[in-house]
C-alpha cells in the first residue's frame, strides 16, 4: 500500500466487521489487523448488533455482509445512513444479483465488493471508502448500469434537467473525490457541493452518491466503465 492510498486523516482507519459467520469475522480481523493503518474496533453478527456497535464505537468504515439475522445487512445500512451518515458502509458479500446490489447502493452503501475480492483490492477499498470514495467491484458496476438502463420507469432526461455544475460535481464524485476535494477543485464551499449533489439526487430519482453516479453513467451524462 503506497502512501497515496492512505487516508488523509491521522490515526488508523477504524473498521467494524459485520458478518454472521464467526469464522469469516475471525479471518477478516486477522487479515485487516495485520495491515498498517487499519484497526478492527468491533465485530457484529446481526444487523441489530451492527448498528449498536457502530453507535458505540463510531468506526470510519463498516464492512458488512447482506444476509444476516436481526434485520439483515440492508436494514442496517439504511439505519446507519440515516443515523450515522459520517460512517462509510462497504458491502462484502457473496451475493451479486440485481435484487441485492441496487437496494444496497440506494440504501446508502459506499461500495459493494464480493467475497472473492483479492486481499490487496479489499484493503485498498477500505482505505478508499474511508476517504469518501465510491468502491464497486467491476462486475457490480456493470450490473448496476445494465439494471438502470433497463429499468421500466427510467429516469428523467438528465441532459436536460441536470445543470452544468451538477454534472460537473457528479463527474468529480465519480472519480472518487470527497465533497471537500470537489469544493477545492471547483473553488466553492463544501456546503455548495452538497447542495449540488442533493439537487442531482432529486432530479435523477436516487438517494445517494453511488446511485447518482451510476444513473448518470447509464444516461450517458458520465462515461460508463470501460469507456473513455
- Please answer whether residues 59 and 87 qualify as being in contact, where contact means their C-beta atoms are separated by less than 8 angstroms: yes
CB-based contacts of 44: which residues, under 8 Å, 6+ apart?
16, 17, 18, 50, 52, 53
Asked whether residue 57 is assigned to any structural domain, the reply reads yes
Average pLDDT, the chain: 82
Residue 15, H or E segment: strand 13-18
Residues 130, 95 within the same domain: yes
Q: What is the pLDDT of residues 69-82, one digit of tens each?
A: 877 888 999 899 88
Which of 125, 145, 165 lies at the terminal end of a domain, its last residue? 145
**Model confidence pLDDT, tens digit, residues 139-197:** 777 666 666 556 555 444 444 467 888 888 998 988 888 888 998 998 888 888 888 88
| CA 181 from centroid of its chain's CA atoms | 17
Quick one: the chain helix, strand, coil %, rounded to 5? 55, 15, 35
Residue 113 belongs to some domain of the structure: yes
Judgement on whether residues 18 and 80 belong to the same structural domain of the protein: yes
189 φ/ψ angles, rounded to the nearest 5 degrees: -75, 160
Is 18 in a helix, a strand, or coil?
Answer: strand
CB 15 within 8 A of CB 64: no
* pLDDT at position 176: 82
Domain boundary among 122, 145, 168: 145
CATH number for the domain that contains residue 140: 3.40.50.2300
User: Average pLDDT in the 95-106 region?
Assistant: 79
Q: In the chain, how many domains are there? A: 2
Amino acid at each position: 500500500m503506497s502512501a497515496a492510498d492512505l487516508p488523509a486523516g491521522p490515526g488508523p482507519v477504524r473498521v467494524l466487521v459485520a458478518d454472521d459467520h464467526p469464522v469469516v469475522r475471525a479471518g477478516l480481523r486477522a487479515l485487516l489487523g495485520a495491515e498498517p493503518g487499519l484497526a478492527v474496533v468491533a465485530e457484529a453478527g446481526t444487523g441489530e448488533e451492527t448498528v449498536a456497535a457502530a453507535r458505540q464505537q463510531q468506526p470510519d468504515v463498516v464492512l458488512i455482509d447482506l444476509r444476516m439475522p436481526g434485520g439483515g445487512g440492508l436494514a442496517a445500512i439504511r439505519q446507519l445512513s440515516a443515523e450515522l451518515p459520517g460512517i462509510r458502509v462497504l458491502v462484502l458479500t457473496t451475493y451479486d444479483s440485481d435484487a441485492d446490489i441496487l437496494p444496497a447502493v440506494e440504501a446508502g452503501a459506499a461500495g459493494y465488493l464480493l467475497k472473492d475480492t483479492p486481499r490487496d483490492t479489499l484493503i485498498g477499498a477500505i482505505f478508499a471508502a474511508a476517504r469518501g470514495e465510491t468502491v464497486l467491484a467491476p462486475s457490480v458496476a456493470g450490473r448496476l448500469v445494465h439494471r438502470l438502463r433497463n429499468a421500466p420507469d427510467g429516469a428523467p432526461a438528465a441532459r436536460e434537467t441536470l445543470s452544468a455544475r451538477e454534472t460537473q460535481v457528479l463527474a468529480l464524485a465519480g472519480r472518487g473525490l470527497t465533497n471537500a476535494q470537489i469544493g477545492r477543485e471547483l473553488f466553492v464551499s463544501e456546503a455548495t457541493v452538497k447542495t449540488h449533489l442533493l439537487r442531482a439526487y432529486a432530479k435523477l430519482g436516487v438517494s445517494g452518491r453511488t446511485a447518482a453516479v451510476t444513473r448518470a453513467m447509464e444516461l450517458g451524462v458520465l462515461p460508463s466503465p470501460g469507456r473513455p
